[in-house]
Every structure is written in structure tokens, then in C-alpha cells.
Amino acid sequence: YGVATLDDATSIRQAVVDEKPRRAVVLGGGYIGVEMAEMLLERGLAVTVVLADPLPLALLDEDMGERVCAAMTSMGIEVVTCAPVKEVETADGRVRRVVTEAGGYDADIVVLGLGVRPDADLGRDAGLEAGDSGGLVVDERQACLFQDQVWAAGDCTETTHRLTGKRLSIALGTHANRQGRIAGTNIGGGTATFPGVLGTAITKVGDCEIGRTGLSSREIEKAGFTAESTTVESSTRAGYYPGAASIVTKLLHERDTGRLLGAQIVGGPGSAKRIDVFAAALWNQMTVADIAGMDLSYAPPFSPTMDPVTITARKAARA
């Protein structure tokens, strides 16, 4: 089963109800892969997640990905890393086993979470320009390059990263929705522009929440920035308040200027949406010192006196 539409998800749910599979293998450890693993586990299946990469959620830094992997393992999900798939064996028209370079894994159902690439064949066949990522090249109005009466938006297009200025393809519903509104406004005679992206995203697997925005350490090195990293473990609520959970916050900032370049969060319930504070700071080119001085809210049910956002930024500003 692939997972690209709501109907795909409905088909998987129906198969679990009707066929009562006992063993599931999920191929891929991106957003879709970890979410599908959680869903199948909650429905009583033994779940194995098979990755070609060393860790799930490859857009995270290694130390943060290790925390996600540990959370998945503690839930009872088997995580197999560095194991490219060679074959999915079938018998009587049904999957029976996934064979990888690291061994074989029995399966009654296999779910694909292998990522996406731009489906721009219609545009390319019509003579529209495509970029290195395979997505159609559009301007800030979502008009196609050299064809200003042809418009494109969403996963079939390239967009500009606000930090690097590079064009890339990021398949996120938030971007697609906003780009569609820009294109629609301009088709209707308006004057709207799309300002680029930071790649802000959140997900969860079990009680482990994950958020990221901006650049990872690998992306920072590739872009040629010189950066420092700061990681702090804190609490989602005041420590004495019931339900407080651990939250690990990592900031990446430019060494000379202190400008924030990226942020990642892994923690318990109440963690992930804090990434939006960092996304807003990135959008406005703030430094870690600026973030440390922000007037953030406090009440024991929601955060310690000093929020993890503030604590990490203060530590980074002193670095």
C-alpha cells in the first residue's frame, strides 16, 4: 500500500479490519512512515520499520534522530536501519516477506513511506521549464518561467528557501495551500507573491513529538555557513505540575552574527508546536540573543517559568 491520498489511508484501515494482518512492515522513516507505524501498532500489529538511512526522519540531526528512534523502539516498534530493500516476496497474490540487504522480515501487510518527488510530467510535456529537483520553475507569483499565463503550485513546483536562496522541492501541505492561494489571487487579477519557505514541519510517533524548521547541520555545512549548535533538555511544564514531560531543544546559529539558522525539537506532549516560535524568529532573521529576550507566556500547566525556547536561546547567546 502506498500512502498518497486519503483514499489510500482508508484502504489500509479497511485491510486491517477485514484481513486482520498480524505483521506489518513499513518501508521508509519519514513523516508518513513513522505516522503509519504508530497507526498500525495501535491496531495491534507487530510493526517493523525498514530504513535505507541510518535513522528515521533524516531531516533531523543525528543526535535528535537517535531520540526519535529510541522512542519508537520503546513503543515496541522494531526499527531496522541501513537496510535498502531488495525485494518484496509474494505468494498467492499477497505479500509474505520483505527482503533487505540486512535480512528478511515476514509481513502480512507492507506500507510504503518512501518519500515523494515532483510529478511535473504534464508541464514538462507541454514545454514548461523544470529545475534540478524535477519541479516546475515558477516566479514569486507562481507563474511558470517564460510562460506568465501558465500557473503552477504545490508539490509539482520548486520554491525558494529563505535562508539559502536556493530553489528546491519540499512537499508540505502548508506550502501547497499557500502557493495555491497566491496563484489563484494572481489569476483573478490580484498582485500576490510567495515569499519562500523554511521547511517548518511537525509530526509525532506515540507520545514523542517532533518539530523542525530552517536548516539542519548537514544543510548548513552544504550551504557554506559557519554555525554553532546548542542543545538543552528541559520540561514542557513546571516540574511540579502533573504531566510535565521531557523536551530537548536544539538551536543552530551563525557563529559570527548569532543569527538563527535552524531549530529542532523532540519531546513529550506539548513540545512540537514550540517550533513555531523558532520559525517566526527565522522568518524575521532574529538572533539567538533576540529570541532570549522575547516576552513569552508562562503558567505552570504550559511551561516552566523560563520556557525551553528561552532557556536554549539564552545558552546559545552565551556560547
Whole-angstrom distance, CA of residue 2 vs CA of residue 8: 7
Identity at 222, one-letter amino acid code? K
Q: pLDDT at position 116, please?
A: 86
Q: pLDDT at position 4, please?
A: 87
Q: State the Rg of the chain over Cα.
A: 21
Whole-angstrom distance, CA of residue 145 vs CA of residue 201: 28
pTM recorded for the entire structure: 0.94
Please report, for residues 67, 91, 169, 206, the alpha-carbon distance to residue 269 in angstroms, rounded to integers and kept in the order given: 15, 42, 30, 9
How far is CA 297 from its chain centroid?
26
- pLDDT tens digit at each of 319 positions of the chain: 999 889 999 999 999 999 999 999 999 999 999 999 999 999 999 999 999 999 999 999 999 999 999 999 999 999 999 999 999 999 998 999 999 999 999 999 999 998 889 999 999 999 999 999 999 999 999 999 999 899 999 999 999 999 999 999 999 999 999 999 999 999 999 999 999 999 999 999 999 999 999 999 999 999 999 999 999 999 999 999 999 999 999 999 999 999 999 999 999 999 999 999 999 999 999 999 999 999 999 999 999 999 999 999 999 999 6
Identity at 39, one-letter amino acid code? M
Cβ–Cβ under 8 Å, residues 244 and 310: no
Whole-angstrom distance, CA of residue 124 vs CA of residue 136: 8
46 burial class (0-12, 13-18, 19+ CB within 10 angstroms)? middle
Whole-angstrom distance, CA of residue 90 vs CA of residue 8: 20
Percentages of the chain per state (helix, strand, coil), in multiples of 5? 30, 30, 40
